[in-house]
Structure 1
């Protein structure tokens, strides 16, 4: 249980860091759509489910979605306006049970 919490905390930290770095440009450079549309596309179209979430300093909600079956993943940010923007997506998702040895926790 503690290992899973540490893994989730590490994943959340990484996602929050990415979101913090990219959220300022998300609305300008990335496709943004109503939240329900984005979530339906991720869950129904790609089989992805929520894996981590956090709030940015700017008040946006950052979420990471992933699929164990296909290995796809997506990071989205929902802005205070209600629009959800795709920050990035990829493949080969692997959940981690614990931070790598030597990784600060």
Structure 2
């Protein structure tokens, strides 16, 4: 099963610039309500990208659907990716020390 990890979220941050004139943009409250009512998704994580845009990952652990959104400081909330097979993980950092 595909795992949606922090790494995948970081990759999604780079896609934020691509959402500029996307027609899948709505007011933040409207987007959150739509994702909850139609897909059973709630916010699972939140971060700021380099442009100070808010990046949010909404997902439903029950159905496995997920949606990545970006909200610019002065603009609407836009969907930049969505999919299925969401799984919440908590992974530790790998040991990078090869010895002294």
TM-score range, shorter chain: 0.7 to 0.9
Higher helix proportion (structure 1 or 2): 1
Matched, 1:95 2:84: no
Where does structure 1 differ by over 2 angstroms across 4 or more consecutive aligned residues? 101-104
Structure-2-length-normalised TM-score: 0.79
Cα displacement (A) at 1:92: 0.7
Structure-1-length-normalised TM-score: 0.76
1:36-55 to 2 correspondences below 5 Å:
36-55=29-48
Aligned residue pairs: how many?
92
Q: For residue 10 of structure 2, what is the aligned residue in structure 1? A: 16
Cα displacement (A) at 1:72: 0.2
Structure 2: give runs of 5+ residues left out of the alignment: none
CA RMSD of aligned residues (A): 2.2
